[in-house]
Chain A
Amino acid sequence: MAFLEIDALSVTYRAERRLVHAVRDVSFAVERGAAYGLVGESGSGKSTILRAICGLAPTSAGAIRIDGKPLPPRRGRGFTRTVQMVFQDPYGSLHPRRSVDATLAEALAIHGLGDTDARVLAALRDVGLDPAFRFRYPHQLSGGQRQRVSIARALMLRPAILLLDEPTSALDASVQAEVLNLLQRLRAEHGLTYLMVSHNLAVIDHMCDRFLVMRDGAAVEELARADLAAGAARDPYTRALFEANAHETV
């Protein structure tokens, strides 16, 4: 049975006098320990799916199930222990006036978990940051270091699923490689399940076993990694996306 299931999900926003269908009848399933990708251009609804999983977007139809159980309308502490999210912009997603230590320790305090010192230090080590970073503030860190802190924060509660929303698109190519390698290592070490969103097909191809191509809120087609390399993409949109990305290789 699939670990994370998105079943005929629709997300509809009510704007002035009209409805915006951000996600339309999208279904997919992610096995435990797998890495699944959502790829598409801006406005394709890929990030909205992540937000809907977290209960941050108005679900108008369909169901989201984890381990066979539908998610409750109000996501509680049990949910945050299972699912955590890493956001795109490492500049916007860390509190500018909280030290790394305060950022990492917050989830532990909310969940009444002790052993804060050891857990914070272990998390820093896990993401390859020196313990000296513990009492720094975000403005004292580079973009790559901030993203490592965001990943450490997401791992504090030992979740099973990480939702990764364009985790490297704000980073330089060399830093992107470091963060992607870190994510690969963490998945292997902690047996994590990833749902990763990106506009970059090469990044998705590198990280994910299967992925869904999205456009205008709808699913275009689902592909396995091998299909893409073999040129088995059937939909013309997927092929256009492939062309635009394949050129990027010298």
Chain B
Amino acid sequence: MSLLEVEDLRVGFRTETGIVEAVRGLSFRLGRERLAIVGESGSGKSMTGRAILRLVPRPGFVTARRLAFDGIDLSTLSERRMRALRGRRMAMVMQDPKYSLNPVMRIGAQLTEGLRLRDRLGRAEARRRAIAMLEAVQIRDPERVLHAYPHELSGGMGQRVMIAMMLIPDPDLLIADEPTSALDATVQAEVLGILDRLVRERGLGLVFISHDLQLVSRFCDRVLVMYRGRVMEELAAADLHAARHPYTRGLLNCLPRIGGPRGALPTLDRDAAWAG
């Protein structure tokens, strides 16, 4: 059985001018592997991640023929049982630590909040677990970080803290929405290395949402390329260079390359048929 089964997932928004569909009939299965969902802004990739965790805000609504996590049907689950899954078994890492951490709470308090409330751990034990997890994401001075406020950390440190926070309850599924796009290239490589090691060691299922085709081709096993709410192409990450869909090819070709030709970059001609 797959860890996550998604069939004909649709996310729509009711607006004054009718229903706008952000995701239009997405289907995939995820095992204990690294799946990338790639697309440009407005492709519906982030909404897919949110829909799986049932975090699509009103006036948005989600429908699916099947949306199941570890055999549990998420579409009919009560909000109370959903809350028991969220965080504990399915977690999400957001893009920007500047906006996703509580700015007026020390890192230590944020990291141990779940352990204290959900797992009813004592202060010392929660603290011990938080330090162990900060060490697992290669933070060198966890004691200092526990006492720091988010604004006292760099982007890379903040992102590690968020990953640590999501991994403390030892979830089975991690959805990472652009977890490294706010980071510099060299820091990005470190954070990806950490995620990669954690996924391998803990046997997580990972959904990695990104706009960066090259990045996911190095880091993931499979890639779904989305455009305007639909999947254009699904490939093994290693076969990205052999992508056949003109949209995927267009995305690859429009990037400048070090030492590449100097003339105009190829631009993407969007075929109206892709949006279908």
Contacts and interface: CB of A to CB of B under 8 A. Distances in A.
A244 B185 contact: yes
Contact of A228 (B187, B250, B258): B258
Contacts of B215: 248
B143 interface: no
A138 B212 CA distance: 26
A interface SS class:
helix
A177 B211 contact: no
A240 B186 CA distance: 7
Given A42-B184, A177-B265, A184-B264, A249 B40 contact: no
A250 B223 CA distance: 14
Given A143-B41, A248-B215, A177 B268 contact: yes
Given A172-B211, A249-B214, A202 B255 contact: yes
Interface string A188-210: 00000000000111110111000
B264 A174 contact: no
Contacts, number: 94
B185 to A, nearest CB: 4
A174 B258 CA distance: 17
B81 interface: no
A203 B265 CA distance: 11
B236 interface: no
Given A172-B41, A250-B252, A202 B265 contact: no
A205 B185 contact: no
Interface residues of A, number: 34
A28 interface: no
A242 interface: yes
A113 B189 CA distance: 50
B268 A41 contact: no
Given A174-B251, A250-B252, A180 B258 contact: no
B40 A174 contact: yes
Given A42-B155, A172-B211, A247-B218, A201 B258 contact: yes
Given A178-B267, A201-B258, 6 more contacts: A172-B40, A173-B251, A177-B254, A199-B185, A228-B258, A248-B215
Interface of A: 41-42, 143, 172-178, 180-181, 184-185, 199-203, 205-207, 228-229, 240-242, 244-250
> What are the 5 closest A-B residue pairs judged by CB atoms, nearest first?
A229-B259, A206-B256, A244-B185, A177-B254, A41-B184
Interface of B: 40-41, 155, 184-189, 211-215, 217-218, 240-241, 250-252, 254-260, 262, 264-268
